[in-house]
Amino acid sequence: MQREQLADFLRRRREAIRPAEVGIPDGPRRRTAGLRREEVALLAGMSVDYVVRLEQGRSSQPSTQLLGALARALRLTDDERSHLFHLAGHQPPPAEGVARLARAGLVRLLDLVGDTPAMVLSDLSEVLAQNRMSILLTGDHTGLTGDRRYVAYRTFTDPTIRDLHGPEEWRRHARQQVADLRAVAGRRAGDPTVTGLIERLRAASDDFRRLWAEHEVAVRRADRKTFRHPRVGRITMDCETLVTPDLGQLLLVLTPADAESRERLELLRVLGVEEFPADVPH
């Protein structure tokens, strides 16, 4: 672990970020260049004291989970993230692990869209990052582990998903999930992460096996979904998908499909975070 180099790198990256880039007002009384240490700690979900010790070169070796949180908070590029891991004495995550960290540019877009729900997903539909309105609408999905982190797996194995959608919309949603997964399997032929997920789904769900055998292929780009929110009722959203050039990650932006949905989304924004929906699918 290169403590002095790590401390200098973290300090310089913190000072290089404009507060507005991460959704923090840049008021006239700010005297600190870039972000304050308290703001980095809040964004990364760690104590201010630990951020201070890291920047002073007197911390214990940070874990890979903590480094990932710092990389997201500081909006590091892929190269900067790898450098951070090396300075801390860890090997950077392998390709599959890196793909599960939201790209810095996409995270900045989450901040820029403001009160419009948006999230960053992997090509396997793992939710990598969400803005505040996305969490209010769908709940926080970034902490899910195991196969539950895949939307497709939850679609076919969690019975509450069918109830939330209703039978007809669930069938449409399930077919889209399978067709999209088929497209990913074609692009990532032989990838054990993809083939393993498919085999586990085949073992877990008759519906998945039937749809998979139909060999439909379709990359999701635009869609319309209805969310049955426990606090404000039904909200119908148009979903627009923007993908990275390598198709490895995507930005999903959700806008109200009608005036009633717009009013209910605004009510949800005003109510804020008091309780989340159980597990609303995307």
Paired residues of 233 in beta bridges:
229
Residues 205 and 10: their CA atoms lie apart, in Å, by: 46
Paired residues of 225 in beta bridges:
237
**Angle at CA of residue 148, ends 184 and 108, nearest 5°:** 65
Position 202 scores a pLDDT of: 95
Position 25 scores a pLDDT of: 66
Position 208 scores a pLDDT of: 96
**266 or 39: which leads in pLDDT:** 266
Task: Provide the token pair at 245.
Answer: 């050039």
**153 or 17: which leads in pLDDT:** 153
Position 279 scores a pLDDT of: 47
Position 45 scores a pLDDT of: 80
Output the average pLDDT for the chain.
83
The sheet carrying 118-122 orders its strands as 127-130, 118-122, 249-256, 233-243, 222-229
| pLDDT exceeds cutoff 50 at 257 | yes
Residues 269 and 282: their CA atoms lie apart, in Å, by: 19
Task: Provide the token pair at 270.
Answer: 């005003």
| pLDDT exceeds cutoff 70 at 112 | yes
Contact 116, 255 (CB under 8 A): yes
Confidence class of residue 275 from pLDDT cuts 50, 70 and 90?
very low
| pLDDT exceeds cutoff 70 at 278 | no
| pLDDT exceeds cutoff 80 at 222 | no
Position 156 scores a pLDDT of: 94
Domains and CATH numbers, the chain: 3-88 (1.10.260.40), 104-271 (3.30.450.180)
**Angle at CA of residue 197, ends 195 and 201, nearest 5°:** 115
Position 26 scores a pLDDT of: 66
**Which residue has 């090396």 as its token pair?**
86
| pLDDT exceeds cutoff 50 at 105 | yes
What average pLDDT does range 37-55 have in this prediction? 85
Tens of pLDDT, residues 149-192: 898 999 999 887 777 667 888 888 899 899 999 999 888 888 88
